[in-house]
Structure formats: C-alpha cells, structure tokens
Amino acid sequence: MAFEEEQKIFNSFVKEKGLKQSKQRDDILLTFLKTEKHLTADELHSLVKKKNSSTGIATVYRTLKLLCECGLSSELRFGDRAVRYEHFYGHEHHDHLVCVKCGNFIEAVDPEIEKLQERLAKKVNFSLQGHKLLMYGVCSKCKK
C-alpha cells in the first residue's frame, strides 16, 4: 500500500483541528483508499468490519465527514437515497453518466463544458466553486 501521502494529509488535518488520531479512523481511511469505488457509508462500514468487527457505523459517518473536509473524498448523490463517497485527492474531476436501466455509470469529462460553465457563471456575476453534472440515459450495454 502506498497511501503515505493521503495518510499524511489526513493526520495533518486531524492535528490542525485539535483532534486526536485513532485506530478506527486509520482503518476507515485505509479501507476507503483501497476500495476504488463509489461507496455508501453503510457499504464502507461492512468492509471495515471485516478487519475490525467492532467498528461502529457512527464512526464511519464521522470519519467520512472528515475525509471530505480535508479533500480526500467527495460526496456524490445519484437518484437513490444514500450519499456516496468517491476518491477526490489525486483524481481528475469528472462527471457521471448514469444508466437508468442498470444503474451503472460512466465517468467522463469534457474540458469545453467545464470552460463554458465558467463563462455562464461570469455572465450572472457568480463565483463558481464547483459543480455536479449528472447525465441520465441508457448505457451501451443496456441498448442491447
């Protein structure tokens, strides 16, 4: 595992905030980093429990919040109920094309779309900080 960089970011952030390190947070961070998916808190909790079955779901929620705050993770909301978390640090920004039939999604980015969003924001005197673009439709597999 070569997540020293991410771990350093997290530990520095925790210290900066006057918080303390813990075994649970380390486990949760490592499990999150090892799993290159868009997980819900519950799914991540299941994975973490394989290593340390006593870890509580509340701590997973608390840690995910910290991961988002320090820039290692980012929230994602598809149509379904639960929030999903994806890797943020060291990952290019991308948008998602979600298939309404199978639920799978494709990650993609169009630099021109990104630029035009800036232009659109300027037009209404809005300081753009970020965006979430979800495209819905049918993926190639589901088109039969």
Q: Which residues bind Zn ion (CB under 5 A)?
A: 99, 101-102, 139, 142
Indicate the burial class of 44 (C-beta count within 10 angstroms; 0-12, 13-18, 19 or more): buried
134 binds a second copy (CB under 8 A): yes
Q: Rounded to an integer, what distance in angstroms lies between the CA atom of residue 113 and that of residue 26?
A: 37
DSSP string, 7-66: HHHHHHHHHHTT----HHHHHHHHHHHH--S-EEHHHHHHHHHHH-TT--HHHHHHHHHH
- Taking a C-beta distance cutoff of 8 angstroms, is the pair 63, 29 a contact? yes
Stretch that binds a second copy, among 13-21, 25-33, 35-43, 106-114 (CB under 8 A): 106-114
81 binds a second copy (CB under 8 A): no
Site for DNA in 4-63 (CB under 7 A): 14-15, 18-25, 40-42, 52, 54-59, 61-63
The CA-to-CA distance between both ends of the chain, in Å, stands at 39
Closest approach, Cβ 11 to Zn ion, in A, equals 35
Closest approach, Cβ 16 to Mn ion, in A, equals 27
User: Which residues bind to Mn ion, rule: CB under 5 A?
Assistant: 86, 107
Site for DNA in 78-117 (CB under 7 A): 81-83
Closest approach, Cβ 37 to Zn ion, in A, equals 17
Closest approach, Cβ 109 to a second copy, in A, equals 8
